[in-house]
A = this chain, B = another copy of it.
């Protein structure tokens, strides 16, 4: 496996980063459950001892990847929070997240199993989910006030937000259990399903703007 595939020319990767990048590629290829730290060390071209200097076990590597997932999603959603509650800004996030779901696909495919195997990861995941859910709930409120989403009770808002969340986060697993290939194109189909879910709740103007964004 080429170690710097797809990276810009620049200074060589630090060993810690190389371990994380190599592990991510292997997890995506074979599933995290089947990959050992020895596989990762071998693929990264380092000794098991060198790997253990940076990470005591596979769980610590998965947690390091989860930190990257949070950082990447924060870049999208953190911006969304401060951004104008406008239809195009709102919906573009769903399109952009598809890249992240593909980049970290092993994590979403094995989510429940990974959280079940590592209580520390589960605690961090739950804390992050709660923060992001609260932020999104506030943002949906702003979208209603801005006339992008039609008015609804708080209970309905939370229910619809939850439904969208489930479809986004489990779309990859849905592809997997229906025997579809996990490709960027198939992941991109989730955008149309999120649109279908949102459509009855969009103002006519927002609907027209979002429809123009659909792939």
Chain A contact residues (Cβ within 8 angstroms of B): what range?
A: 35 or more
A11 to B90, CA, bound (A): 61
Which residues of chain A in 78-136 are interfacial with respect to chain B, using CB atoms and an 8 Å cutoff? Answer: 109-113, 115-116, 122, 125-126, 129-130
Q: Contacts A163-B167, A163-B196, A167-B166 given; indicate if A173 touches B111 (C-beta within 8 A).
A: yes
Q: Specify which chain B residues have a CB less than 8 angstroms from the CB of A196 in the assembled complex.
A: 156, 159-160, 163
User: Is A52 interfacial (CB-CB < 8 Å)?
Assistant: no
The residue from B110, B129, B193 contacting A113, defined by CB atoms under 8 A apart: B110
Q: Specify which chain B residues have a CB less than 8 angstroms from the CB of A178 in the assembled complex.
A: 126, 129-130
User: Is A31 interfacial (CB-CB < 8 Å)?
Assistant: yes
Which residues of chain A in 165-198 are interfacial with respect to chain B, using CB atoms and an 8 Å cutoff? Answer: 165-167, 169-171, 173-174, 176-179, 192-193, 196-197
Q: Contacts A112-B176, A116-B31 given; indicate if A197 touches B129 (C-beta within 8 A).
A: no
User: Is A4 interfacial (CB-CB < 8 Å)?
Assistant: no
- Are the C-beta atoms of A159 and B192 separated by less than 8 Å? yes
Q: Specify which chain B residues have a CB less than 8 angstroms from the CB of A165 in the assembled complex.
A: 174
A66 to B17, CA, bound (A): 42
Residue of B whose beta carbon sits closest to that of A160: B196
User: Is A50 interfacial (CB-CB < 8 Å)?
Assistant: no
User: Is A48 interfacial (CB-CB < 8 Å)?
Assistant: no
Q: Specify which chain B residues have a CB less than 8 angstroms from the CB of A204 in the assembled complex.
A: none
User: For A129, A162, A167, A196, which residue has the most chain B Cβ atoms within 10 angstroms?
Assistant: A196
The residue from B31, B129, B193 contacting A159, defined by CB atoms under 8 A apart: B193
> Closest 8 A-B residue pairs measured CB to CB?
A200-B200, A170-B170, A126-B179, A159-B196, A113-B113, A112-B173, A166-B174, A166-B167
Q: List 11 A-B contacts (CB under 8 A).
A: A33-B113, A110-B113, A112-B112, A112-B113, A113-B113, A122-B179, A126-B177, A126-B178, A159-B193, A163-B196, A169-B177
